[in-house]
Each structure stands twice: as C-alpha cells, then as structure tokens.
Amino acid sequence: MIYLDNAASALPFEEAVVFSPEFGNPSSDHSVGHQANAVLGKTRALLSMMFGGRPSEYHFCSGATEAANLIIQGRCHFLKMANPTRNEIIVSAIEHPAIFNTVEHMRQSGFIVHIVPVDHRGIIEASFIYDILNENTSMVLVMGVNNETGARQPIDEIARKVKSIDSEVSFICDGVQTLTKVASPDLTYIDALIGSGHKLGAAMGIGFFYLNRRFRLSPLLFGGEQEAGVRPGTENIYGIESLHRALEHHQKNADQYHQHVHALNLLLQKTLEQSNIPFSINTQDGETSDYILSICFNGIDASRAIKFLSQRGICVSKGSACSSVSPKPSRVLSAMKLTHTQMSSTLRVSFSPLNVKEDVLTFCAAMRELHSHNVETSTLVQQNQM
C-alpha cells in the first residue's frame, strides 16, 4: 500500500500506537491514579515546550472537531451573557468544516458572520479583516495551514494586527495542519489554538487545545472538574500517551522530518514534470506547507483517478476527508476561484515523515499510466468521430 493521504489521517508511529497504557483514573487519589495523572502532566509540559504557553493552558478532548465546538460555541454562549454587543464573528472562507460549520451554526443563533475572501493562491485577504473589525467583533478565526491546499496563512502578522486594533477580540487558530509541520504560531497574540493527534502520527480519538488565561467560555458539557471544567469526563489516557509519544518523535527529529518531506514534495513535482503529465499546483507562487500538495491534473477526472489509484493500492484524496462524501464542489477551491473543470481534476497528495521515495515514484508512474490511457481513449474517440 502507498499511503499519501496523511492530511486526512497520518501514518502512525508504531511506538505511538502499540504500547500498554496506564489503566488508572487520573482523578483517583492513589498510586495508580497518580501514575495516570502523570501522563497528563508530562504531555501538557511537552506541548508547552514545543508550542508555547503554560502547561496548564493545554486541555485534552476527543479531537479537533470537539475542540472547535467547545471553543466557538462556548465563547459565544459566554458573550451572550457577559457582553451581548460582541455579536460579530470574522472567519476565513477556507476554514475546515469543523470551524466553518460551527460558525455558521452561531449565525443561526443570532451572531453576524463575516467571511474573509482569499486570493488565487488560497491566501486570505487580511485587509478585509482590518476593514470590518469593529467594537462588536467577538472573534477572528484563521487557520494556520489549509488542510486541502497546504496554503500557509500569515497568522502571526494577522493576530498581532487584530490585537493592536482591539485587544478584546479573541483570535482563534486551527493549528491541525500547522503544528510540527511548519513554524508554530506565536501564542502571544493567539487566544485559542487547536491540534489533533492523528494528524501527527498518534492514535485517533485524541485532540488538544490551548486556551490562554484571558479567554473565557461557558462549558458545553457538565460533569466533573477534569480539564479545569472546560471539558469534563475521564481523560483518554491511551490517547494522551499516544500523543506524547508522537510529539516526542517530532521533537527529536524535527529538522530531519522537514528536510525529508521537503525532498519528497520536490521529487513528486519534478517526476511529474519529467513524465510530461499536464498538471499545475493550485497554490502556485504562494507560501505552502511541504506536507500538502493540491494538484490539478488537466483532463483527468479526480474521482476516476482516485478509484484507479486505489485499485493499485495507492491512497490519495480530492480534499478534506470530512467533505469527501459531499457532491458539492470544494468550498476551499471555490473560494480560490478555480473553475469547475479545475476543481474536478484536483487531487490532494499529503505526506508523512514515514513516506519514502518509492511511494512518490509509484504514484507518479500510476498517474503516467492513467494519463496515457486518457490520451489513447481521446484519440480513439476522435478517430471514430471522423
């Protein structure tokens, strides 16, 4: 199997998924409970060391979707009681469905939503944010790296500017495709940051989020006092230990991983060029993450290509796994003003440090085969029409 769909769920590090976890409840006041609680402590400390902030400002949950809902809905519910005039939300047009659809739900609850456009490279028009920011703005939401295209957003610059205009506006960043893959955002101006374990080589079912001490929200769930009351319920010790083990891999091998993935990205583009396959990179001339390539293969239907590749044991996608079953065109690619033909010919190839050169070469060989088949079919059709 050739797995190149790591933006959906990354190849796991074996040590991060095959181990015997602590079995105690971390809230129990005995030795076994203390051992389980130590897993929480060491993982918060590692998150703090790698990404900034205090260990106590990191919280665990089931995944990024839950984190997005807890943060956005929780903040909106808090503001409805504490400061109801702060009823406007600014969100980029290319946010992950977990963010974008939660904000849309808040629109139905009475919040006014402003959607920030992007340019042809998938980079948001930051000036739009500054122009519409006002005393009623409650939050600004901009992701660090887009999950479909790999386009990097100027998070630090935008967050700093937003806070300089109005320090009371909350800045929320989806860091799922950012953390460990590109430079981490500066938390000085960010109120909430979201991450997901299975995008980093950990097990599925574990997410985490950073909330600085300025950020207040109303909890959506009620129960015990776990996670400072923000997310009650017994913590997923297996998932948290898995996250810790995956993060250790990235911490110890950061430079090596970045260089390796960069080389794979360049190899793929170079090999396609040498194969004379018509293609274009949808984020051409934009700043991107090496981990994600959004490629338009001219004249090749993406759905057909995915089936063709899958039959050969090669896994890629059209875009966000969360929207893959939808017949609608990609919201992200639509925001970039790609044509319907371009969107229907786009594949997303996404890498892991565990991928190797042979994965890339096998994918390119299969695409060359598919392209040749398309050319032959088109020639036969033309001949029959003559």
Whether the CB-CB separation of 4 and 352 falls below 8 Å is answered with no
Q: Check: CB of residue 299 under 8 Å from CB of residue 116.
A: no
Ramachandran area for residue 135 (φ above 0: left; ψ -120 to 50: alpha; else beta): alpha
Q: Mark whether 322 is an active-site residue.
A: yes
CA distance 14 to 226: 29
Say how far apart CA 94 and CA 293 lie, in whole Å: 16
Residue (of 250, 114, 116, 96) closest to 182 by Cα position? 250
Contact between residue 143 and residue 64 where contact means Cβ atoms under 8 Å apart: no
Catalytic residue among 61, 76, 173, 322: 322
Rounded to an integer, what distance in angstroms lies between the CA atom of residue 366 and that of residue 373? Answer: 11
Per-residue b/e over 126-160, b at no fewer than 16 CB within 10 Å? Answer: bebbeeebeeebbbbbbbbbbbbbbbbbebbebbb
Closest of 234, 237, 232 to residue 206, by C-alpha: 237
Residue 175: CB atoms within 10 Å: 27
Residue 384 CB contacts under 8 Å (≥ 6 apart), including other chains: none
Q: Report the C-alpha gap between 146 and 24 in whole angstroms.
A: 38
CA 81 from chain centre, in angstroms, equals: 31
Residue 309 parent element (H or E): helix 302-311
Distance CA 12, CA 204 (A): 9
Give catalytic residue positions. Answer: 322
